[in-house]
Amino acid sequence: MTTYAKGLTWGEGPRHHRGSLWVSDPQGGKLWTDAGGNWEGIALESQSNGLWFLPDGRLVAAVQRERRVGLWTGSSFDEYADLQHVATGPLGDMVGDSRGGLYVDDVGYAAHLGEEPKPGRVIYVSPDGDAVVAAEGIEFPNGLAVIDDGRTLVVAETWLQRLIAFDVDEEGALSNRRLYSDLREVVSAEARPDGICAAADGGVWVSTLHAHKLAHVRGDSLVDTIDTGDAFPIACCLDPATSRLYATVAHSGGLPVMEAIAQKKVHSTVEVFEV
């Protein structure tokens, strides 16, 4: 691994855009980027999670606890779309399509607050800002990726250790829910998908967290893996211009990662790989 950046507590939603990297740090309360020339963390009052760049280049974020999508102003995320009427829990990852539509994870419950588990959903935000429920009954939806030239949405179900897929129609609606990849069989018994991203040559890159691997899967086929040693891979993204894979990874000092989070003994770095 080659370390690209340090300083994060828990890196989520990395996106590479126009030569710069952007990463949310929901536990550290910051948005990190090197767009200004230096790697810096910008303190936020409303914490971002999933990030995406709209077709016109504007940055939007899933604002985790406020159940809305925010539009970056340079110092904060102003209102872009209100999701309170369709979201039931904290917001997670986010990905967009070529039309400017957005898919957002509604995790369903706040695990860190001890709430009882319940299924989550995927919310679709149209290019004009209207939000509707696109899919329900998803067990802890996490990473999201649009593949097949926009025809397929892949969703990570962390606790079920699998990826599921939906067909996407011309209006952004989802149908034909199906299993895309059983990561217990394809990668390892420890693989729990967190962040994912579309692979350059088809399929999906998966951050497997407890399996200490970044895995490139295409359905029930394992294309490639990258070992992250003792570090726990959280989320990943590709730079389409170079095919470099950027991944946020957690370091727990030898503790189980959830225990390290509870004890506030975890920190994250951004690692870069040539793929």
Helix (H, G, I), strand (E, B) or coil at 219: coil
Average pLDDT, the chain: 95
C-alpha closest to that of 46 among 7, 75, 10, 20: 75
Q: pLDDT tens digits, residue range 191-230? A: 999 999 999 888 999 999 999 999 999 999 999 999 999 9
Helix (H, G, I), strand (E, B) or coil at 183: helix
Residue 76 pLDDT greater than 70, yes or no: yes
Torsion angle in degrees (nearest 10) through CA of 11, 139, 62, 100: 120
- Amino acid in the structure at residue 10: W
C-alpha closest to that of 205 among 220, 223, 228, 190: 223
- pLDDT interval class at 153 (50, 70, 90): very high
Helix (H, G, I), strand (E, B) or coil at 258: helix
- pLDDT interval class at 72 (50, 70, 90): very high
Q: How many domains does the chain have?
A: 1
Measure the CA–CA gap between 45 and 240, rounded to whole angstroms: 31
pLDDT above 70 coverage of the chain, percent: 99
> What is the distance, to the nearest Å, from the Cα of residue 110 to the centroid of all Cα atoms in its chain?
17
CATH of the domain at 208: 2.120.10.30
Range of the domain at 215: 2-274
Measure the CA–CA gap between 18 and 88, rounded to whole angstroms: 34
- Listed in order, strand segments (DSSP E) in 174-212 are 174-182, 196-198, 204-207
- pLDDT interval class at 110 (50, 70, 90): confident
Q: pLDDT tens digits, residue range 16-64? A: 999 999 999 999 999 999 999 999 999 999 999 999 999 999 999 999 9
- pLDDT interval class at 112 (50, 70, 90): low
